[in-house]
Amino acid sequence: MPSLRRDQVGWLLAGAALTLAPHAGHLPPAISALCALLLVWRGLIAQRGSRLPPRTLLVVLAAGVVGSVLLEFHHFFGKEPGIALLAGLLSLKLLETDSLRDARAAVLLSLFMQLGQFLYQQDMAIAALALLGTLASIGTLLALQGRAEAVAPRALAALRLLLLALPLMLVLFLLFPRVQGPLWGLPADAYSAVSGLSDNMAPGDIARVSESAEIAFRAAFEGDPPPPAERYWRGPVLTRFDGRTWRPGPSRRHGQPFYRSSGPAYPYTLTLEPHNQHWLLALDFPGPAAGLAYGDDFRLLSREPVRSRLRLELVAHPATPVGLDENPRTLQEALKLPPGFNPRTRALGEQLRAAAGRADDIPALAIRHFRDSRLAYTLTPAPLGRDDVDSFLFDTRQGFCEHFAAAFVVTMRAAGVPARVVTGYQGGEINPVDGTLVVRQSDAHAWAEVWLATKGWLRVDPTAASAPRRIDGGLAAALPGSARLPLLARSDLPWLRALRDRMDAVNNRWNQWVLGYNPARQRELVASLGFGDTGWQSLIALMAGGCAVVMGGLTLWALRRVSTTDAIDRSWLRVCRRLAAAGHPRQAWEGPSNYASRLAREAPEAAAGLAPIAADYARLRYGPAPADAALLKRFHHSSRKFRPR
């Protein structure tokens, strides 16, 4: 097999680098550094014209890559170790690649690695990076099968091929039968990178979630959204407490809401990012929705973990009274406190119970006590002791929302009022570009629910007593200037917020119309085209027809390009026509040099001056390097002046 030219190696390295660069944020630093060193080494070999390393050394390096992956992950099965192993092997492959066959194998491996990017994210940035890597891979294939050429023309040729593929890609995207969910089983760690709330809560957990500016979900309301004080998006409901960690209690599922909705209705479309959990983070309290489940604790639940972006049409009724006929076992669970923990808070609860005229007054007395205690709202509270609620209420008096909610619920239970912690998100920010309500991880929040015999379950947010701006303006308003706030959540950088809003609006369009193109939307599109409600057989027939139309159009375009001659061919054909008119036609199998040689033997007078014209045409059409202007000018001038005798 022939050795690779320097430009071919350059394209291989560029394609591999553009493929591996997006993975650098997910790969272990040692693997990323090793891949970079191997690519640089291969580039130096090509530049200096040195020999490739011996096979023995490559085997040792391969063992080192395998060992590094095993040391980092302790196994080879799964998304993370699999991608890391492929990255190392791709870099090593280039160190043994000096033939067209191996080079094509490396290109195929690069294309496979570009698909691996979508196991982490599917946003527009990742799609653009994958497209750039694909462009480099196509340019590499062109370089492997053609002569040496400058980078810009080669890249333009690759881009032209990508553009030619767009119509076929569009047909396949629109008409290929959509399958809700993955086509194959993903590895167990495929969703390890998702962020969000956990199904339990300990001091500091929500504060860590709030340091992220990632989008948790979006909501597009048909009319005006509810006021900020009603924007509580329910997640895990935590009833059991062991002295430090809050966990969910027992809960049954219902196929329909088991409460009667009342009060103002807010219809909206929820676009939920994947978080690998069952809860749907709906606004209190959702009305009937097909295919969903309703928990005893008023959560809206999916029947399967949310592992891909989910779009739901919902209606919320925040003023609905709930829990008036609550199960006694649930109320007993909501009164339990672990023995031996937080004695001062227990004493506070007993004092409030003694001071209150009736049970309904106890929550308001507790809120007044929290406000009078001047508790500070902060992302960086002081360390707490074993009795963390006591330490927060009576010693440090600094905490985040989970400290406020946990302390309030413990106080309520000590006072004999059933209570529990609810975690989720509070607030959100209207994007002025597209009008959607964007809720980020920095909006993660914890609040309390208390049960009163005359009113059922009521939401009480003790954080609002100390930081009311958290409810009205979000985390940035409650903690202005905090260094731990996410950069994109800062309120003191208006230009950055404007840029973020525009990017979010564009990403939302991408999510809705590209990533959100599900079977229901496909059926709507096909129906709008006049084909009615079609099954997968009809979709395949439509797809085949669409592909046939596209391929037919491309074929006609290609045939037209073949039959259309350029200026060089037109000048040469003019010479051939004049010779044919003089009785010396060119045979179909004859090239320019053979034609000139034959006429020089058979009709030297008629062929006078033909040899230099044929030689110039051969250089212009088949030469190894681009023609210069002088040669081109001479050829056209000679062909016009040529007259056979």
Catalytic residues: 401, 445, 461
CB-CB neighbours of 291 under 10 Å: 8
Determine the Cα angle at 381 with ends 378 and 384, to 5°.
150
CB-CB neighbours of 99 under 10 Å: 13
Structure tokens at 309: 């972006």
Question: Alpha-carbon distance 199 to 247, whole Å?
Answer: 7
Strand residue runs (E) in 378-473: 398-399, 419-426, 429-430, 437-440, 444-452, 456-460
Name the H helices within 151-290.
151-175, 205-209
Spatial strand order of the sheet with 429-430 comes to: 310-316, 266-272, 215-221, 437-440, 429-430
3-state helix, strand, coil in the chain (%, to 5): 50, 10, 35
Residues 301 and 292: beta-carbon distance below 8 Å: yes
Q: CB-based contacts of 304: which residues, under 8 Å, 6+ apart?
A: 278
Residues 219 and 437: beta-carbon distance below 8 Å: yes
Residue 198, burial from CB neighbour count under 10 angstroms (0-12, 13-18, 19+): middle
Q: For the chain, how far is it from start to end, CA to CA, in angstroms?
A: 50
Structure tokens at 211: 């340091």
Question: Alpha-carbon distance 457 to 207, whole Å?
Answer: 26
Residue 295: DSSP 8-state? E
Amino acid letter, residue 269:
T
DSSP string covering 145-167: HS----HHHHHHHHHHHHHHHHH
Signed CA dihedral, 427, 429, 435, 437: sign only: negative
User: How far from chain centre, in Å, is Cα 297?
Assistant: 32
Q: CB-based contacts of 230: which residues, under 8 Å, 6+ apart?
A: 283, 284, 318
User: How far from chain centre, in Å, is Cα 444?
Assistant: 21
Residues 182-188: contacts with CB under 8 Å, at least 24 apart: 182/308, 186/79, 186/119, 187/77, 187/78, 187/79, 187/82, 188/77, 188/78
Signed CA dihedral, 147, 149, 151, 157: sign only: negative
C-alpha count within 13 angstroms, C-beta hemisphere, residue 289: 23
Signed CA dihedral, 535, 537, 540, 544: sign only: negative
